[in-house]
Amino acid sequence: MYLGEASIIRMQAYLQGYEHAEHDLEVELPTTPSWHHFHDWVAGYYGWSESTAGWCNIIMQHSGNDEKVALDQFYKLTDQFRKSRLHTVCSIKTGQAHQPTGQITIGDIPEGTTTKFHSSNNVSLIPSLGRVRNVPPQITIATYSKTSRYWYLRYHYDDELEENPTKSESDAKYKAQLEFGIADDEWISHDKPD
């Protein structure tokens, strides 16, 4: 890999080009952990409440806006991230009792939720995704560590995995309860991450 100079911005451009080529060629090389979590992981590492700035900008800010220092930090964080694993904290296999509740409508967001969604007729429509979602056979809640600011509500379908970031395990459970009527006592707990 050639960057021309020690620059985190050039590294970001290189990696974005690589991802774009994977997409264009319809080739996806598996990475563990999933690279698309890196934004959230870096934001959590630095204690940010959201990751919209992106990993490059977050690292730059915490490196005094020095591109070389930021690139060195990027390598250190990438090594740590590669060693981390997404842990399933709890899960549920859905059944007949778990249907969209219809409690949530577009524009009517109950206190504590961070995602807009609409439920009706045994499907759930997530406006930001622009598609109808059926009840998944399994739902899990996962995180990188119990102190993480980023948790994932994961919908497991036969041929795909859909993830929605949440701010806590309780926020993820709340969303699942609102959307599919899943009670707190229905979740099967797994070992908590460190």
pLDDT by residue for the chain (194 residues), tens only, comes to 777 888 898 888 888 887 778 778 877 666 655 677 888 888 888 888 777 888 999 999 999 999 999 999 999 999 888 888 788 888 988 877 777 655 543 334 444 444 433 333 334 444 444 334 567 888 888 887 755 666 777 778 777 777 777 778 888 888 888 877 888 889 999 876 55
Q: Decide if 134 contacts 122 (C-beta within 8 A).
A: yes
Number of domains in the chain: 2
pTM of the model as a whole: 0.65
Structure-block tokens of residue 168: 């806590």
77 & 22 share domain = yes
180 & 126 share domain = yes
DSSP 95: -
Sheet holding 123-126, edge to edge: 118-120, 123-126, 131-134
59 & 103 share domain = no
41 & 130 share domain = no
